[in-house]
Amino acid sequence: MSTNSHDNTVPAGYWQDAKGVLIPDTMVKPIDKERDALVKDIVARARPLHEALRDFKHRAFVDIQALIDLSIEQYGVKRGGRNE
């Protein structure tokens, strides 16, 4: 259950469940609120890691391609080896 930070149509004092149903805050169990807070915290901490890994992967592939291009230029070989 969540107060849905992406959609501002959830009125104050309500939570929105996975099906989009509005639930009065007083009917949401404290453990469900704790679970929601934990998941949001974990996701917030994971986002920068995801972005860093994405950037690392992109840079690694760019660097590898540059090395391949340099090798092709220096040794006059075709991409893919003998079959191309």
**For the segment 4-58, what is each residue's pLDDT rounded down to a tens digit?**
445 568 999 999 998 999 999 999 999 999 999 999 999 999 999 999 999 999 9
* Amino acid 82: pLDDT: 60
Q: Quick check: is 16 in a domain?
A: no
* Amino acid 8: pLDDT: 61
* Amino acid 59: pLDDT: 98
Q: Quick check: is 50 in a domain?
A: yes
Q: Quick check: is 20 in a domain?
A: no
The type of residue at 77 is V
Structural domain range at position 68? 29-83
| Per-residue buried b or exposed e for 24-63, using 16+ beta carbons within 10 Å of the residue's own CB | eeeebeeeeeeeeeeeeeeeeeeeeeeeeeeeeeeeeeee
Burial level of 16, CB count in 10 A (0-12/13-18/19+)?
middle
Q: Quick check: is 9 in a domain?
A: no
Q: Quick check: is 15 in a domain?
A: no
pLDDT interval class at 76 (50, 70, 90): confident
Q: Quick check: is 7 in a domain?
A: no
Query: pTM of whole model > 0.75?
Result: no
Burial level of 10, CB count in 10 A (0-12/13-18/19+)?
middle
Q: Quick check: is 75 in a domain?
A: yes
Q: Quick check: is 61 in a domain?
A: yes
What domain count does the chain have?
A: 1
